Structure 1
């Protein structure tokens, strides 16, 4: 029986139902111009023969490929994979994207593209020729690369731009970077901190500035000065360590630091320990991302949990909706993040035994 099922093709279904290949294809693709009785007839043959539609069969109608292409940065992704440091951005992308695609009968294809490559358009053209996707998901910094967004705009297919609020073609989505940074800052303010440092991420990403803006907004609302409390990083461990040393060596050093990703937060923790500080007694630390590695260190880090899976899932929904309607939303879709409180934040008045949040 298993062999027979593997051998069943769209031709067998068409012959059993007594209809054309095109009719079977339209039923598989849920095309609107098929009579209900014909749909029932074809579906009965599909069920009887145990036929599983293939992408090739779904493409026969010529209208859709049922493929969504997700693009990520080649250099950074490969570096993360090789370092094996527990970064799970790609895992979360695939989790959200693949599950949502499966709900709608689509497939998610994952490709790496070099943002800095002068031949990026040629690279994309080759991928499009091979895959003919129905939609594309762009992640930072691709989502703000005019070469890539310009190329996609000419393809006449919907594409989602994650991590951007900037004007331009495509469907913008953000993970509320400003709101998340504000939430992290307010958490520290509620604990009683007034000297709250911030380590910014790479300036190549507009979301880095939005996170700085969220921190600044919360500090301003509390009437607190920010002089000497902002340090620049680039998301790497080394840049986080340098920024943390700058902040913690100041005469009026912060009692808490928010780092724009987990690498820089871990670097801050290491620098603090090198300086003889105890976290959170002497310094509270909040991170962005909430990747696995920060949960299993001591102390475990309070972090903004980036809703990557939920955002990519929503991007898939918006692409499919746009494919059907021919219309794309212009206002950014905002997916809010959650602050996960752990052992790295406490009142600045706390001692080693009292006041830690677990």
Structure 2
């Protein structure tokens, strides 16, 4: 797999793309080599020049033949929202392995660093990718001011761009999606804590508007209501995804709601929550039980080892790449042309961070 920021320069050796780059260069008033350097995030380009080239890319139709969309190149793009959370490198590795097995090379783009998801999509098309897999696309993560509107993805579809979403499907978009059941994850985590005897169960949540946060909260509430416990909104604390956010949300819950157990939006948030509890003199699980989500490799090595809901990453990656491959291969029997959606069950992995309340 090649990172978008370090790939061989576009347009300098691949004559099949020169016409498209020439169109971009002419519209932006720069040279073809400058466009190539912008697309490859090379040093030595003035910021106003870079922005001018990207603006031209944003205005050009996705299916312009010279830019390389919908051509047989044997390359697909993989877009992930970040690499600091170990679950996303795990997805990238699994997606790459399946892509290689299907005969595709892949380009990895980290949309948290450098350019936006939209800019990366334009760049991938300019590089001649045949299709794209979006892991947690921006449409599913509606926090912040830079979120992409539904109309953007609709335009991609109208232009014939083939793509698959992983953990980010939108019901009104005709985009194949592969996802873990976030609602079931919230329900299962809460049910596990209820079965241990907990009644004040908090939710260390990601941003309130993020789709995974909403789905997990709904599962949390469903499990509580099933146990005849009214969901208390004071037991839900929202914070940015990440360890620091987990600590922030945990601090809020401990100061205002007094939970005996919490479920967390991710393992990374759970690690931050456990650290904050320890800082306040609380032991896990003796004083506070904690459940994560993802089952990253570190979950079994932290102290105490983390109880979590595992995503079946390899199976999800295989389903995503296989579905994209079916849509890209015009000669494949039964080529997919309609919507595809597959939901995977999370698996409860019980370790040391959960126990009966004192």
TM-score with structure 1 setting the length = 0.70
8 Å CA contact retained: 1:184, 1:304: yes
- Aligned match for 2:132, one of 136, 140, 146: 136
8 Å CA contact retained: 2:117, 2:138: no
The offset of 1:65, in angstroms, is 2.2
The offset of 1:121, in angstroms, is 4.6
Matched, 1:190 2:213: no
Matched, 1:233 2:235: no
Matched, 1:94 2:100: no
Q: Which residue of structure 1 aligns with residue 354 of structure 2?
A: 345
Q: Which residue of structure 1 aligns with residue 336 of structure 2?
A: 327
- Aligned match for 2:165, one of 130, 155, 161: 161
Distance 1:116 1:335, change over 3 A: farther
Q: 1:144-201, CA deviations, whole angstroms, 9 ceiling, x for partnerless residues?
A: 4336523431342421011124221311221111111111111111111111111111
Q: Whose radius of gyration is greater, 1 or 2?
A: 1
CA distance in 1, matches of 2:139, 2:318: 16
The offset of 1:204, in angstroms, is 5.0
CA distance in 2, matches of 1:331, 1:106: 21
8 Å CA contact retained: 2:135, 2:168: no
CA distance in 1, matches of 2:120, 2:168: 23
Q: Which residue of structure 2 aligns with residue 105 of structure 1?
A: 103
Distance 1:160 1:218, change over 3 A: same
Distance 1:317 1:342, change over 3 A: same
* Structure 2 counterpart SS, 1:198: strand
Distance 1:113 1:95, change over 3 A: closer
CA RMSD of aligned residues (A): 2.5
Q: Which residue of structure 2 aligns with residue 307 of structure 1?
A: 312
CA distance in 2, matches of 1:258, 1:141: 24
Distance 1:328 1:208, change over 3 A: farther
8 Å CA contact retained: 1:143, 1:162: no
- How many correspondences in the alignment? 275
Q: Which residue of structure 1 aligns with residue 262 of structure 2?
A: 257
CA distance in 1, matches of 2:77, 2:203: 35
8 Å CA contact retained: 1:138, 1:161: yes
Distance 1:103 1:239, change over 3 A: closer
Matched, 1:242 2:248: yes
* Structure 2 counterpart SS, 1:249: helix
Range 170-179 or range 156-165, more displaced: 156-165
CA distance in 2, matches of 1:255, 1:63: 56
Structure 1 residue runs without a partner (length 5+): 1-61, 81-86, 350-358
The offset of 1:105, in angstroms, is 1.8
- Aligned match for 1:269, one of 240, 259, 274: 274
* Structure 1 counterpart SS, 2:106: strand
How is 1:45-194 mapped onto 2 (pairs within 5 angstroms)? 64-73=72-81, 76-77=82-83, 80=84, 87-113=85-111, 121=118, 123-130=120-127, 132-144=128-140, 145=148, 146=150, 148-166=152-170, 167-194=172-199
Distance 1:246 1:122, change over 3 A: closer
Q: 1:26-64, CA deviations, whole angstroms, 9 ceiling, x for partnerless residues?
A: xxxxxxxxxxxxxxxxxxxxxxxxxxxxxxxxxxxx963
Q: Which residue of structure 1 aligns with residue 294 of structure 2?
A: 289
Q: Which residue of structure 1 aligns with residue 143 of structure 2?
A: none
CA distance in 1, matches of 2:92, 2:112: 19
Structure 2 residue runs without a partner (length 5+): 1-69, 141-147
8 Å CA contact retained: 1:305, 1:339: yes
CA distance in 1, matches of 2:117, 2:184: 33
